[in-house]
Amino acid sequence: MRFPGTLLLLVCLSPVLCRAGELNLATLSCDKYENEVLTAADSINTVMWLFGYSVAKLGEHVMYGDALTSFGFALDAECKNSPSTSLLQAMTSVRPKRDKPMDLTTLNCATFESRHAANLATDPDSANTIMMWLFGYSVGQSGSHLFDAGGLAHFASALQNRCMQHSDDSLFDALAAVNKPAAKH
């Protein structure tokens, strides 16, 4: 069960997502994030990545389906109130709404892959946005604090391969396994 469209979509979107380059969340100020990063990059996918990252850093293993907007507005407010603060520090004070949690430890890879394929066919932008959340979550799990949207295609391919080889694994376990070789950050 391969999804060549996934890789093609991610490669096509990479120029849009890569404009920001690699960003160190610990040294990136809120002011720079607000005035340079969000205006130069795909802001929804950037915030989605940050949202996934922040959930992982909190040690949680759930995706909150309806919390992107509240997270984005809360991060925006935090950064506007403290523009010289690092983005990483600002993110630690933002808590997403806890509505409609989807537990990553109970969602197996086969189920995720079939849902992702269906989503790619009907709404590729949403499929990409969800992959950005998972990518951010994965980086947060790994202990890194670097955002590199250019790594999305590699991450998506690695996750897909892991899920194809271990379809009964939970998505949480697959994300942890994908991190092991990428823990260089």
The domain limits of the chain are 4-179
3-state secondary structure of 108: strand
User: How many Å is the Cα radius of gyration of the chain?
Assistant: 16
pLDDT at 43: 87
> Which of 66-69's residues contact partners 24+ apart within 8 Å by CB, and which partners?
66/97, 66/99, 66/100, 67/96, 67/97, 67/98, 67/99, 68/44
The one-digit pLDDT tens for each residue of the chain (185 residues) are 333 333 333 333 333 333 446 889 999 999 999 998 888 778 888 999 999 999 999 899 999 888 988 999 999 999 999 999 999 999 988 987 888 889 999 999 999 999 999 999 999 999 999 999 999 999 999 989 999 988 999 999 999 999 999 999 999 999 999 976 444 44
